[in-house]
């Protein structure tokens, strides 16, 4: 009887342990991890993902490989990520546009509820940038001119882009309206500001600093350390607008909490490593870590805010 009980107990323990290992909880990770990047090699999302993958190898003790799946503004790769097995072995780095604007613009196989948010790694706040010799040298002068009826020209990538939404959000925050002039990309918009063809553009503050543009205001609740003299929008008119270019780590919805916790812990450790810090600085971005709970809250607000902005611009599906 005792032997039979002992054997039964042993079988139960083995079965339970086997189930835990089979569902990936007990010894995660125990095989190679794929980091899906929804853009071609060479851009900011790709560089951030590769830096993170290199750190994860050392922290998690498993090969971590990058898989670039590009196309359609990142939505092809994001769709593949959303439809991957929620087991922690396919994770992905998504930027603000792919994650929070594209699903509002067209029918996709993913939306804001398709993910388990792991961590925010990089965020560079947007700034209103002008020619240092242009006619508007303060945010008050620029906004007041528009409110008084002046045709204030804003330049940026095509309609629906984050900079396009940002100039509209700026206008809404101040009760002003600007004329938006679309360009192929941020570089074209910046050249137009430098050439005094337009009055301002909205880009990450670091871009303007490198190119000699003057930042008038940061579109975030707080000032940034690199521009201590430039006010935040909250200081100027109390708005809690928080717009920036950011990259976060996601897993498919349904990934078990212990696995998400393991990845979030690895992310927190990765972002303070010298190699990661130096690498992000070299590509001109800013580390802004948020753990999984804070990131989930941040993401939900960004998804909702950007959807409302696109609707107000007549660009939502």
Average pLDDT of the segment spanning 101-112: 97
Same fold, 31-123+245-312 and 125-237: yes
Dist CA 168 CA 237 (whole Å): 16
Sign of CA dihedral 152, 154, 155, 158: negative
Domain ranges of the chain: 31-123+245-312, 125-237
Is 0.85 surpassed by the pTM of this model?
A: yes
Token output for 158: 């095509």
On the question of pLDDT at 268 being above 80, the answer is yes
Q: What fold does the segment set 125-237 form as a domain? A: D-Maltodextrin-Binding Protein; domain 2 (3.40.190)
pLDDT for the residue numbered 16: 37
- With cut-offs at 50, 70 and 90, classify the pLDDT of residue 284: confident
- pLDDT, tens digit, 9 for 90 and up, residues 293-310: 999 999 999 999 999 999
For 250, phi then psi, to 5°, come to -130, 155
- With cut-offs at 50, 70 and 90, classify the pLDDT of residue 206: confident
pLDDT for the residue numbered 22: 43
Average pLDDT of the segment spanning 156-167: 93
For 186, phi then psi, to 5°, come to -65, -35
Token output for 286: 């800013």
Q: What fold does the segment set 31-123+245-312 form as a domain? A: D-Maltodextrin-Binding Protein; domain 2 (3.40.190)
Q: Are 201 and 192 in contact (CB under 8 A)?
A: yes
Q: Are 132 and 268 in contact (CB under 8 A)?
A: no
- With cut-offs at 50, 70 and 90, classify the pLDDT of residue 25: low
Average pLDDT of the segment spanning 116-122: 98
Of 41, 311, 67, nearest to 168 by C-alpha is: 311
């Amino acid at each position: 009887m005792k032997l039979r009980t002992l054997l039964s107990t042993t079988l139960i323990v083995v079965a339970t342990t086997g189930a835990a290992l089979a569902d990936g909880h007990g010894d995660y990770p125990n095989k190679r991890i794929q980091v899906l990047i929804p853009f071609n090699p060479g851009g900011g999302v790709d560089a951030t993902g590769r830096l993170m993958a290199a750190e994860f190898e050392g922290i998690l003790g498993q090969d971590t490989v990058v898989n670039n799946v590009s196309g359609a503004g990142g939505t092809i790769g994001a769709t593949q990520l959303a439809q991957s097995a929620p087991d922690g072995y396919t994770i992905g780095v998504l930027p603000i546009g792919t994650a929070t604007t594209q699903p509002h613009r067209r029918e996709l196989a993913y939306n804001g509820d398709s993910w388990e948010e792991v961590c925010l790694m990089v965020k560079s706040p947007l700034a209103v940038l002008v020619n240092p010799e242009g006619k508007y040298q303060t945010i008050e002068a620029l906004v007041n001119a528009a409110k008084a009826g002046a045709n204030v020209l804003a330049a940026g990538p095509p309609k629906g882009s984050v900079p396009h939404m940002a100039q509209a959000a700026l206008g809404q925050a101040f009760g002003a309206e600007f004329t938006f002039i679309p360009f192929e990309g941020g570089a074209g918009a910046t050249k137009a500001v430098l050439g005094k063809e337009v009055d301002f553009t909205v880009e990450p503050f670091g871009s303007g600093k490198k190119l000699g543009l003057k930042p008038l205001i940061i579109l975030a609740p707080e000032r940034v350390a690199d521009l201590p003299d430039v006010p935040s929008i909250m200081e100027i008119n109390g708005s809690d607008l928080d717009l920036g270019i950011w990259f976060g780590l996601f897993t498919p919805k349904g990934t078990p909490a212990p696995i998400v916790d393991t990845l979030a812990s690895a992310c927190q450790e990765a972002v303070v490593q010298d190699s990661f810090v130096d690498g992000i600085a070299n590509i001109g971005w800013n580390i802004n870590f948020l753990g999984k709970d804070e990131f989930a809250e941040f993401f939900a607000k960004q998804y909702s805010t950007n959807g409302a902005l696109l609707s107000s611009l007549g660009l939502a599906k």
